[in-house]
Amino acid sequence: MTTLRTTIEDHLSTLQDRLGQAVSRLPGQRPGDRRACTDDFLVATTQHLAAVADIVLPAARKHDPEARSLTREYLRSAKRLERALVIAKAKQYGQAQNVGRAWEQVWTMVRTDLESVAELERDLVARVSERLSEVESHRLGDRLALAARRSPTRPHPHLPHSGVAGKVVRTVASRADRVWDEFEGRVIQPLTPREAG
């Protein structure tokens, strides 16, 4: 069992590590290795964002009514990051609109948006954690880790992210994503309990 704050920090640390692997160009690295690292980062980030929307945002609204504006700001920031992830995935798989875009530009956009999301998450979690008992914090941390493993593996910035509609859409998108991953032979390494805490 881990606290909500610990799980968030573990997730964010994993995302930073995976981003570093996706961005790096190691000598002797084959193109398939780089694609796998990029996919691992995209999957982990997408799953983390969906889990936060599913677990942390409702907790913030419930335990801190003044956090509503912060949750709205977080959703805007998360959707912006998801749009950047869509561009990275499109670039990765050779979509015509993104062929001329430099990888450096793509990764700069992703890194900036990820930093913005991380800052807002930390603020939200700090506010929520102040109002939770240790047992509740552990329960939310465990729920967040479990939700991440069950979340979609592809970014969906134009679908609902909150409320009942968001929860239903995430469930359907998660199943559809896994089918597409299988069809495409996309080998993914989702956030695991070991990484997630």
In angstroms, the CA 176 to CA 178 distance is 5
**Pair of tokens at residue 172:** 């359907």
End-to-end CA distance of the chain: 8
Q: Is the pLDDT of residue 84 over 50?
A: yes
Q: Is the pLDDT of residue 27 over 70?
A: no
Q: Is the pLDDT of residue 189 over 80?
A: no
Contacts of 119 (CB under 8 A, 6+ apart): none
* Domain ranges for the chain: 4-196
CB 41 within 8 A of CB 22: yes
Measured at the alpha carbon of residue 67, what is the angle toward residues 66 and 71, in degrees to the nearest 5?
150
Quote the pTM value.
0.88
Condensed to tens digits (0 to 9), the pLDDT of residues 162-183 reads 888 888 888 898 888 888 888 8
Condensed to tens digits (0 to 9), the pLDDT of residues 38-78 reads 889 999 999 999 999 999 999 999 988 888 899 999 999 99
* Average pLDDT of the chain, as a whole number: 87
By CB atoms closer than 10 A (0-12, 13-18, 19+), residue 154 is buried
C-alpha distance from residue 84 to each of 18, 51, 77, 95, 139 (Å):
16, 18, 11, 14, 31
